[in-house]
Amino acid sequence: MKNLLNTLTQTFGPSGYEKEIRNFIQKEIEPFVDEIHIDALGNLIARKGTQKQDGKRIMISAHMDELGVMASHIDKDGFVYIAFIGGINPLTCFGTRVKFMDGTEGVVYAETKKMNKIPDVTQLFVDVGASSKEDCPIKVGDVGVFVRPFLDLGNRVVSKALDDRIGCLITIETLKSIKDSPNELYFVFTVQEEVGVRGAVTSAYAIDPDMGIAVDVTISSDVPGGEQLNPVLGKGPCVKIKDSMLISHPKVIKTMTDAAERKGIPYQMEVLRYAGTDAGAIQFARSGVPSGCLSVACRYVHSPSEMVDWKDVENSIQLLTEILEKPVIL
């Protein structure tokens, strides 16, 4: 399973350019689902089972896209100025490396003389080893992702793009493990979450589910000088109560906590003061969808080295499987 996560995290897929990661996930899940299709924005939508008595239509969403950069200007000396794809702290960029879609790699740095304490994204550039505009292989509009290998620390794993390839892993493993369910399950690997939960908007409209659950990461507070929040690594999957886009539906929260209690799976409650997930978009589909989110506590979110606890991941798969295999009362 860690091998699968390794591949998931290292496969290219910034927001809007998810083709590679989608192709990989599609191959991985095709044998386990009944129907699969790709919508106009590139969401991968897989159906498993049909709705039986006591069953509901449930949408489970994990976003495939990752943070990235887009070339905005090539200067006369061949330096590539960039725009961010998604919410990135420029402080995490110094000396980090990026890889463009054509394979070109380069180093990120900033106009240090011009910047204030925190550089503005417009002061960042990528050095791809070119010496002039003419010999630079990158054009304005080309996209890239951060380069950081997968690191297995035993109980903990570290990589770029664990947000939200860890959600993809949990969703993939869940759909593989589900044997029988009264529910019609739509597993959606969404696009463009990092630029404004856009893939979830269109996929939720198409599916028109009775309930929506996003699987994503949340901020873990157990680091020196970190956020004052509830979730920590290793204490189980998090049941989201709210973030800035969503107040989870009480019945969805109860569905999740009931399942955890039934199975004796540890869980934590999550109240996030900011940010949002696909669930924030799903709840708005058509006449509204009761929605919630299963989060995995994660350190250093939106940096090139995100960290999660492996036990939390295993528990999340167990919990999600239990939720989806049983009738849901809304």
- For residue 134, state whether it binds another protein (rule: CB under 8 A): no
- For residue 75, state whether it binds another protein (rule: CB under 8 A): yes
Q: Which of 36, 206, 229, 247 binds another protein (CB under 8 A)?
A: 206
The CA-CA-CA angle for residues 168, 169, 173, to 5°, reads: 115
User: β-strand 291-299 against 306-309: which pairing, if any?
Assistant: antiparallel
Residue 66 Cα distances to 17, 99, 169, 324, angstroms:
9, 13, 14, 26
Q: Which of 7, 28, 32, 39 binds another protein (CB under 8 A)?
A: 39
Taking the least distance from each CB to another protein, the nearer of 203 and 268 is: 203
What whole-number distance in Å separates Cα of residue 230 and Cα of residue 222? 9
What whole-number distance in Å separates Cα of residue 146 and Cα of residue 11? 11
H-helix segments, the chain: 2-10, 19-29, 162-177, 198-207, 250-263, 278-282, 310-325
Check residue 160 and report its DSSP letter. Answer: T
Give the distance, in angstroms, between the CA of residue 54 and the centroid of all CA atoms in the same chain. Answer: 31
- For residue 126, state whether it binds another protein (rule: CB under 8 A): no
- Burial class of residue 261, CB neighbours in 10 A (0-12, 13-18, 19+): exposed
- For residue 41, state whether it binds another protein (rule: CB under 8 A): yes
Taking the least distance from each CB to another protein, the nearer of 19 and 176 is: 19
Phi, psi of 162, rounded to the nearest 5 degrees: -60, -30
To another protein, the closest distance from the beta carbon of 65 in angstroms equals 9
Residue 18 known to be catalytic? no
What whole-number distance in Å separates Cα of residue 260 and Cα of residue 252? 13
Residue 315 Cα distances to 34, 51, 92, 267, angstroms:
26, 26, 30, 9
Which residue of the set 66, 173, 193, 306 is catalytic?
A: 193
Q: Within 86-115, which residues bind another protein (CB under 8 A)?
A: none
- For residue 190, state whether it binds another protein (rule: CB under 8 A): no
- For residue 138, state whether it binds another protein (rule: CB under 8 A): no
Element spanning 81, H or E:
strand 80-85
Which residue stretch of 89-97, 172-180, 199-207, 296-304 sits at the interface with another protein (rule: CB under 8 A)?
199-207
Return the exposure string of 306-320: e unless at least 16 CB atoms fall within 10 Å of the residue's CB, then b: bbbbbebbebbbbbb
Taking the least distance from each CB to another protein, the nearer of 143 and 170 is: 143
- For residue 73, state whether it binds another protein (rule: CB under 8 A): yes
To another protein, the closest distance from the beta carbon of 51 in angstroms equals 20
- For residue 10, state whether it binds another protein (rule: CB under 8 A): no
Q: Within 245-304, which residues bind another protein (CB under 8 A)?
A: none
Strand partners, 159: 306
Which residue stretch of 18-26, 52-60, 102-110, 245-253 sits at the interface with another protein (rule: CB under 8 A)?
18-26
- For residue 118, state whether it binds another protein (rule: CB under 8 A): no
- For residue 202, state whether it binds another protein (rule: CB under 8 A): yes
- For residue 203, state whether it binds another protein (rule: CB under 8 A): yes
Taking the least distance from each CB to another protein, the nearer of 140 and 329 is: 140
Taking the least distance from each CB to another protein, the nearer of 19 and 311 is: 19
- For residue 19, state whether it binds another protein (rule: CB under 8 A): yes
With CB under 8 A as the rule, give the number of residues binding another protein.
34
Which residues are part of the catalytic machinery?
A: 193
Question: Which residues of this chain interact with another protein, rule CB under 8 A?
Answer: 15-17, 19, 22-23, 38-43, 70-73, 75-76, 81, 83, 85, 122, 139-141, 192, 195-196, 198, 201-203, 205-206
